[in-house]
Amino acid sequence: MRLSGILAGLGAAGIWGGMYVVSKVVLQVLPPFTLLSLRLTLGAAALGAILLIRRRAPASPGLIGRVLPIGLIGFGVSVGLQFVGTSLSSAANAALITSASPAFILLFGALLLGEAVTPRRMAALALASLGVLAVLNPIDVDMTQSAFRGNLALIGAAVTWGLYSVLVKRVSRDLPTTEVSFFAFLGGMLLSLPLAAVEGRGAAEVQATLPLVLGVLYLGLISTALAMYLWNRSLALLEAGLVALLFFAQPVVGVSLGALLLGESLEAGFWVGSALIGSGLILAAFPGRRATTSPRQDPGSPA
């Protein structure tokens, strides 16, 4: 079960590794909350179809009422700020600044779940954070006045994603992962759809090109439906402090994809940083005394 949770978290982080570049390209055509609404609609449709096929008994109104506000925080506010920040700043800024999310997950995990912030876990966080700085190279980050608002939005995205992740872990004790993810998407749409309607007033007509359609499908089905399910599943199986560190796989995958698909060279900092991130993950994932968790199972789930 512990290994399944680690693999699920790494899978989500790996998928998100290529998300920022795709988002930046698509956001040149679509406004942030319009893209977010499309992404959440596709994600909810995919998971809704799975729920219909399984024909499970519906969740109680009380549980749904608990998940919707969490989804509004995670997908309406956090992902919305991420898209706004990426559109006003840069993909490199988004990747680096949102890599602060694990620190906030660790913090909220201690405050809201009572998880212990052990010296071992803090050392793992420090190693992985240094690794991110080596992989992404802060010299490439735009800290000029023109990017200030975007960077501020990205900081807000990192904080609120930390809060969302801990709240999702709490509600996952009472509801299977597929249902949690589905209703969280609906909660995000409570904010994204009205803001998308405001964005659409007077907006120029968008030409539905093949790259645009493929980008939206990737963000909606892969980066939302699949990756968010895997992330929520990881949180259901593991303590939030450990899942936080799995997030650091994201920049490694992103830079690797840049080398693979765009022919970018991998500098020495990438290899040093990857080694530091890997060391941090190993230090956190295999503690001297393993924590035990008793999550609610999600029968029939792939994770």
What pLDDT, in 10s, does the model give residues 4-48? 888 998 899 888 877 767 877 888 888 889 989 999 999 999 999
Does position 118 have pLDDT exceeding 70, yes or no?
A: yes
In a domain, 170, yes or no: yes
pTM: 0.80
pLDDT of res. 296: 46
Q: Is residue 212 part of a domain?
A: yes
Q: What's the whole-number average pLDDT of the chain?
A: 83
The answer to which of 137-151, 168-182, 210-224 has the lowest mean pLDDT is: 137-151
Whether 169 is in a domain gets the answer: yes
Total structural domains within the chain: 1
Dihedral class, residue 118 (left if φ above 0, else alpha if ψ from -120 to 50, else beta): beta
Is residue 274 situated within a structural domain?
A: no
pLDDT in tens, 49-66: 999 998 877 788 898 999
- For residue 226, is it within any domain? yes
Q: Tell me, yes or no, whether 271 lies in a domain.
A: no
Residue 74 maps to a domain: yes
Structure tokens at 172: 């996952």
Report residue 292: phi and psi, to 5°. -110, 140
In angstroms, the CA 32 to CA 59 distance is 31
Calpha distance 303→301 (Å, rounded): 6
pLDDT at 221: 93
Give the pLDDT of residue 302. 37
pLDDT of 293: 44
Question: Closest Cα partner for 283 from 111, 130, 104?
Answer: 130
pLDDT in tens, 268-289: 777 888 888 888 877 776 655 5
Tens digit of each residue's pLDDT (9 = 90 or more) over 214-265 = 999 999 999 999 999 999 999 999 888 888 888 888 777 777 766 666 566 6
Judged by DSSP in three states, 256 sits in: helix
Examine residue 174 and state whether it is found in any structural domain, yes or no: yes
Distance CA 133, CA 99 (A): 10
Question: What's the pLDDT at 288?
Answer: 53
**Which residue range(s) make up the domain with 35?**
21-125+138-237
Token representation of residue 221 = 């089905």
Residues 6+ apart with CB under 8 A from 72: 187, 188, 190, 191
Helix, strand, coil shares, percent, the chain, to 5: 80, 0, 20
Q: For position 298, what pLDDT does the model report? A: 47
Reported as a pLDDT band with limits 50, 70 and 90, residue 165 is: very high
Q: Does residue 129 have a pLDDT over 90?
A: no
Dihedral Cα 22, 94, 76, 174, nearest 10 deg: 100
